[in-house]
Amino acid sequence: MPLLELKDLTVSYGRIEAVRGISLTVEEGELVTLIGANGAGKTTTMRAISGIRPLSRGSVWFDGRDISRMKAHERVLAGIVQAPEGRGVFPGMTVLENLEMGAYARTFKTRAEHDETLAAVYALFPRLQERRTQVGGTLSGGEQQMLAIGRALMARPRLLLLDEPSMGLAPMMIQTIFRTVTEINSTGTTILLVEQNAQQALSRSDRAYILETGEVVSTGPGKELLADPAVKQAYLGVA
């Protein structure tokens, strides 16, 4: 049984169908990627999974349950946590306060459990610990991305949704972020990743889905898609 399953998912903005009949699965422990051009429907799909955007048709299943009508905060409690496109850090709060906002999303049984989770986030992102008293709005773009992912991890997700984590970052920081995403997945956290950096995403993914104009047009193991001439031409600029 997949951890996440989308069945004939359709999402509309007024009369415009941004996503049309998408079906996909994410198995527990996998790193699965959605790639596609701007406007392909990637972010809309993520918003539908997290409960931010209502469905026009179809359904979202998580851990064997139909959660299509479940509210967004209830999905967080169930274990679906998103680090959104654009990072969305709270600029006037410190790094630690931002991380604690993620902790509030799910109740810790003990203080020790909270402290262990925070220590794990700091181990992944030592720079966040160094800057824990610095306000989020003064961090660099890469540091804000670390903070957005760290905040999501404080909610202890079973399924982590990452939307364009490399957007606007310098090449060295992109490498750092993707190495960390791989490390998070290696510890057992299931990840659904939306990304335009096809090279990095496909090379690290168990499987991937390619979206065009709101529909899935291709799917397969990440490395197989990376070697596909059509994918190379469309998303890697290789003729």
**Where residue 199 sits, what CATH number does that domain have?**
3.40.50.300
> Which of residues 106, 135, 155 is at a domain's end?
155
* CA–CA dist 17, 19 (Å, integer): 5
Burial class (CB in 10 A: 0-12, 13-18, 19+), 204: buried
The segments of the chain whose pLDDT lies below 70 read 238-239
- Could you tell me if 207 and 201 are in contact, meaning their C-beta atoms sit under 8 angstroms apart? no
Tokens of 236: 């890697």
> Which of residues 126, 155, 184 is at a domain's end?
155
138 and 233 co-located in one domain: no
75 and 173 co-located in one domain: yes
75 and 131 co-located in one domain: no
Q: What is the 3-state secondary structure (H, E, C) of 92-154?
A: CCEHHHHHHHHHHCCCCCCHHHHHHHHHHHHHHCHHHHHCCCCEHHHCCHHHHHHHHHHHHHC
> Which of residues 106, 132, 155 is at a domain's end?
155
Quick: pLDDT tens for 89-132: 999 999 999 999 998 887 788 999 999 999 999 999 999 999 99
**Tally of domains within the chain:** 2
* CA–CA dist 166, 163 (Å, integer): 9
Tokens of 64: 């064997």
State residue 146's pLDDT score. Answer: 95
State residue 238's pLDDT score. Answer: 64
Domain with 68, as residue range(s), is 1-79+157-239
22 and 136 co-located in one domain: no
State residue 239's pLDDT score. Answer: 54
* CB neighbourhood size of 169 (10 A): 19
Residue 51 falls in which region: left (phi positive, over 0), alpha (psi -120 to 50) or beta? left
98 and 127 co-located in one domain: yes
Tokens of 226: 């990376």
State residue 213's pLDDT score. Answer: 94
